[in-house]
Structure formats: C-alpha cells, structure tokens
Structure 1
Amino acid sequence: MPTMAGDRVSRLFMLVCCCFCITTILMTYNTFFIEEEIVENEEEEDLYEDIQNRNFRDKDRPVNMGSHSHEDDDRTKANEMYNRVRVLCWIMTSPSNLDRKGLAVRTTWAKRCNKYIFFSSVTNDSFPTVGLNVSEGRQHLTGKTVQAFTYCYENYGNSFDWFLKADDDTYVIVENLRYFLSHHNPQNLVYFGHRFKAIVKQGYFSGGAGYVLSQQALKKFVQVGLRNPLLCRRDGGAEDAEIGKCMQRLEIKVGDSLDINGRESFHPFTPIAHLQGNYPAWFYNHTFHKVQKGLGCCSDYSVSFHYMSPADMYLMDYLVYHLRPFGLHRIDKKTNYFLPVGKK
C-alpha cells in the first residue's frame, strides 16, 4: 500500500508538472504573438502618422509649374489681350507668408500679369517685396492698401490700364480678368470685384476676392481722396469697406461683373465652397446678388477665388492650364460672355 500510494503521488506530481509546462508554453506563445501584433499595429500607426505628418509638411511644397500654359495651346488671342489690356497686379503679403503663400502666387498666376508687385511691411530684395511704412495686422490692412495703391500710382500710374489688388491667398485667372476688362474703358471712374451690399450705399467689393481699379479711378483715389481725410481713411477699419466708402465719396462707380447667365466671376471663397454652397451665414445678408451653388455659382470665365492654400493654387494652376480632356475643345461663339455695361 505505501508503494502504491507513493506511485500515485509521483504520477500526480508529474501530471501537475506537465500541465504547468503546457500552460507556460501556451502563455509564452500567446504573449509572443500578441506582442508581435501590438508591435505591428504600433508600427502601422507610426507609419500612418508619419505619412500624415509628411503630407501636412509637404502639401504646400513648391511645385515647378513650367510654362504659363499647355505647350500646345494657341495663345494668339491671349497674347493680343496681353498687349491691349495692361494689368498691374499687386499682392498684399507679410514676411511670414513669403516662403509659402507668396511663393505659390509668384509661381502660379502672378507671372501672367503685365507686372506684379508684392507689398509687405519689410523690404525683401531677394523675393522681392516692396516694404511699406506700416505695421502688420488686420487693423492696418487699410493702411497697407492705401500705401500700396499710392506706390503703384506714383511709379506706374500711366503705364497700365488697370490695377488689381489681391491677397496672398487669392488665385486669379488673369486671362479671364483681361477678357472681362477688355469690355470696359480704363478712363472711366469705375472699379470691379465681388459686390457686397452692406455698409456702403452703392456697395463695396470683397477684399479677399480681389478688386481692380481703372487707371482714372486710381488717379482720383490718390490725387483727390488720399489728400482729404474726410473722403478717404488712411488706416484702420475694415479695408474693403473703407475703400468702398472712399470710392462712393469720390463718385467712383461699382461695376458689375456677372456673366450673361447671371453667374459671379469674382469669388470670396474656394471653388468647392461655392460649388457646394458651403457659405457662412453672414454671406447671405451681405452679398449683393442672389446666392447660388452648383454650376450656377460661378462663371465659366471666372476671375478669382479666395482662401486658396498654396496646395490649392498649384492644383488649380494644373487643372486650368495643363489638364485637357482628349477630343474636346471649346469654341467661343460670342465676343462677350459678360453682361453689357449698365445691364443687371
């Protein structure tokens, strides 16, 4: 009996040891593969995060956009318009925006103007920018605008027909701007842009969408308006509204820029915002014309869009000037796709 009892104890002990070994092996196996899976998941997450960070860092990376347009384009009409409708474009920027926003503007649309000038609070000869005697900040946008227009008038007032003000997040299709302006006389006291109806009786134009002054409007603005503080404010306030008040007092008219289908051509938001109708609430009460979305939002010959990131600008430049659907070529059957002067 003692021998049998001892054997049972030995067998039980061996069984317990075997179970312990098997359990240990299984736990080690599971732990290994769970840890491997965790490591793999962490590596995937790290890789995804790295890609996202790289995309964030690189999305505004400068792009060599090459020539002004597709190499096979017939530029005959555009070149004729270039010589006939002379446009000086000036771009409001700041020292901190030069390497990204300023560079994107210079690389894409600015080069299609007859002349372009970047204005900042600091002179930068290598970019280049013209430094103005004004501090940075929204409260000084009026001052920067006034000084920039004054510089343009004093140095180029008789050399160009039209003077466009744009921000460094404005994208302009310059050929469409010239085409639109070709139906207007630069000797008239008029300026154009996206029209708002608040604050100023005749309305005023969105600063972000860009607005363009005729040669005579610029002359009267500088020679008359800026010499009388009762007519034109030299700094402070909301830049676009202050310019609008000044223009009304100087009897410089707001021109209309709708096309023949009643669609806008200067746009205060991005293309996708206008297409989707993704507008802020204030816009419905401020914009002069009926708010539209979808293809009714924007003229086929649209001039400008606002809130464009550098990446948006490079993409827009590619889509407008380089991408082509095979076998399709638009034939312009009309000489004017915009409303005649005086029509609304």
Structure 2
Amino acid sequence: MYRNVLCLALGLIIGIRLTDFFEYLQLTETYFGSTAITQLEDEATPQQPTEEELARWLYNETRVLCMVLTMPKNHQSRVKRVKATWGRRCNKLVFISSQEDNELGAIDVGVPEDRNNLYLKMRKALEYVYQNFVEDYDWFLKADDDTFVIMENLRFLLYPYDPEAALYFGHRFRTTYPQGYMSGGAGYVMSRDALRRLNLFAFNNSQFCPINNLSEDRQIGFCLQNVGVVAGDSRDEEGRERFLPMSLKFMLPKFPTTNWLIKLTFYEPANETGSTSGISFHYVKNHEFEMYEFLLYRLRVFGTPLSQRSLPPRLDPKQLQNQLYHWSHENSTNPNAWLN
C-alpha cells in the first residue's frame, strides 16, 4: 500500500516538473524564435566592409598564382618593379625566365630566350606550375613583365566562379577557330581545372596541342579550346573591356584606338574604352609601375569616401553550367559578325 502511495506521489511530482519544463521550452522558443533572435541578429550584423577589408578577405578566398614571363636582362628592372608593386598581392608569384634567381623568385624553364620560343616557354611554365602548385591555388594568371594587374579587381571578377569549372578569362581576340583566344600581353587567367586539362590531355596530344613557333597566346587558346575549356566574358556591365592589351592612355576619352586592336578584338568595342573596374594594362614602362601603385593605392580625393562593394553571389552548379553553355555558343558560328 505504502509502495503504491509513494509511486503515485513520485508520478505527480515528475508530471508537474515535466509540465513546467515543456512550458519553459514553449516560452523560450516563442521568445528567442522571434523578437529576441531577430534583434540579436540585427545588432550583430557587421557593417559593410571597406575595400581594404574586402581585399584581405578575397586574398584568402580566391587564391591566385601569378606567372610572369620575363628574361634575365629584365631581372633588375621590370622584375623588381613587378615584385614591389602588384606582384606582392598575388598569393604566389613566379617569374618564368631562362636564368634562376632565388631572391627574385625567377625559375629557369630551360628554354632559350627568343621570341619564337615564347609558346614553348609558356608550356614549360604551365607544366612546372601544374606539377608543383595545382592543388594549392584556385586560379593561375599569366602576365608579361610589362603588365600591371589590379589583383583586387581580378579576384572580384573570379569570385562567383568555381575553379573546378573549365574556363579562362582575358581580353578576347578573334582568330580562325571559333572561340578565339585571350591576349597574352593583357594577361589571361585560367581555372584549376583548365590548367589540369592542359597538362593531362592537351600537352600529351600533338593534335590537340601541337608544338610550333607560333604566337604563345593564340596557341595556348587553341589548346584550351580543344580540351573543352570555355573562353569567358570578362567585360564589365557596360560592355567595356577590363583586360587591356594596350597602355592606360588608350582608356582616355577620345584617344584614337589602334587599328590592329579593333580588327582583333572579339566583341564590338564599347563607346567608352575605360572600365572603372579595369584589371590589367600592358606596355607599362619602368617608371610607370610606381606611378600606378601611387595612383591606385595611395592617392585619395579629399571628401570622397571609398566606395562600398558587396560581393556578387557565387554561381550554383546549374547557373554555372548555363553560363558556360552561353559563352561556348556565343558568336561561335561567325565571330566576325559585328564587323559586317
């Protein structure tokens, strides 16, 4: 009898406590699930990052290895200037030369210096980078030693795209094959998968990627197309080019554009040549490296705050597939259509 009374008493106590506990859960869920959590999230929401903060974050989020083609006679001039200016914003900087220099980061790829050897030199550079760094970086930039690259704008362009997608960007030129190719002087950047396809499939197939003494950028473009790497559109929202195969002065209003550039450019030139989110400039003179560095990273107009940028959303697999399909088919039947 006493045992039954004791069990009944314990059951009532446990039941009351459980009721209190469930009421507490409902109360906390109602409170924290609506007003309180919303307020906390609002209070904890960070302010829009500054350009410097965004640049530091993108540095780790979109990792770029930079390959700069040079030669021994430029080691103490252009190479030093690249390393002291835009090159220090690369995640990894490698100078491709015919003479090793550990202090500058120059490697000897074993190809004699000659303009007719630039394509072979670039192949050796891409083989070296693939063998040593393919899994350590997301994107692989090729530039000349008289090119200046705004790495922040490059990463901003690349951020939405998966480096495991087969694509590359640059200033797109027309040629005899449909996709065209990216200007070597303006610099071009390929994804990890593009670098992988080059080394695993293109360089091991003389039909896909023959060895010859033709221009480096055209031949690399030919090899990339033959292994399914898509040439992306790097123009800004206004259709203005961001990779420039010419010097900065050709961006100035009413400056006459050279005929050879108009004849080669894949897309119809925009009315204004200067993009506010430009990425690269070619034919940079020695003294201009420091000038670009000062104008871009130190000089500020008084009273004009830094613009606040928000990152574009990353493309999901379906969006990326649609984008690659669009790029691979645009103007593929007649890349010279806009000239007619």
Structure-1-length-normalised TM-score: 0.74
Report which stretch shifted further, 192-201 or 121-130.
121-130
Equivalent position SS for 1:75: helix
Match of 2:173 in 1: 196
C-alpha contact (below 8 Å) 1:141/1:235 kept by paired residues:
no
Match of 1:109 in 2: 86
- How far did residue 333 of structure 1 move? 5.7
Aligned AA for 1:307?
Y
Q: For residues 177 and 260 of structure 2, what CA distance do their matches in structure 1 show? A: 16
Select which of 275, 284, 309 maps to 2:262. Answer: 284
Match of 1:141 in 2: 118
Aligned AA for 1:301?
S
Aligned AA for 1:138?
R
Q: For residues 255 and 120 of structure 1, what CA distance do their matches in structure 2 show? A: 28
Q: For residues 74 and 146 of structure 1, what CA distance do their matches in structure 2 show? A: 36
Aligned AA for 2:264?
H
Taking the TM superposition and a 5 Å limit, the aligned residue runs for 1:201-220 are 201-220=178-197
Per the alignment, do residues 112 and 334 of structure 1 end up closer, same or farther by CA in structure 2, a change over 3 Å counting? closer
Match of 1:322 in 2: 298
Q: Deviations over 1:35-64 (max 9, x none)?
A: xxxxxxxxxxxxxxxxxxxxxxxxxxxxxx
Match of 1:241 in 2: 218
Q: Deviations over 1:206-227 (max 9, x none)?
A: 0000000100000010111101
Equivalent position SS for 1:165: strand
C-alpha contact (below 8 Å) 1:200/1:241 kept by paired residues:
no
Match of 2:280 in 1: 304
Match of 2:20 in 1: none
Q: For residues 180 and 100 of structure 2, what CA distance do their matches in structure 1 show? A: 34
- How far did residue 159 of structure 1 move? 0.3
Q: Does 1:166 align with 2:143?
A: yes
Per the alignment, do residues 105 and 235 of structure 1 end up closer, same or farther by CA in structure 2, a change over 3 Å counting? farther
User: Unpaired runs of 5+ in structure 1?
Assistant: 1-72
Q: Deviations over 1:180-201 (max 9, x none)?
A: 1001110100000000012331
In our comparison, the structure showing a higher alpha carbon Rg is: 1
C-alpha contact (below 8 Å) 1:162/1:186 kept by paired residues:
yes
Q: Deviations over 1:74-119 (max 9, x none)?
A: 6211111111000000100000111111111111100001010001
Taking the TM superposition and a 5 Å limit, the aligned residue runs for 1:31-42 are none
Q: Does 1:124 align with 2:101?
A: yes
Q: Deviations over 1:223-257 (max 9, x none)?
A: 11101111113341011111111111111100000
Aligned AA for 1:317?
E
C-alpha contact (below 8 Å) 1:200/1:244 kept by paired residues:
no
Match of 2:336 in 1: none
Equivalent position SS for 2:244: coil
C-alpha contact (below 8 Å) 2:93/2:105 kept by paired residues:
no
Q: Does 1:264 align with 2:236?
A: no
Q: For residues 97 and 236 of structure 1, what CA distance do their matches in structure 2 show? A: 23
C-alpha contact (below 8 Å) 1:134/1:144 kept by paired residues:
yes
Q: Does 1:77 align with 2:54?
A: yes
Equivalent position SS for 2:203: helix
Q: For residues 55 and 104 of structure 2, what CA distance do their matches in structure 1 show? A: 27
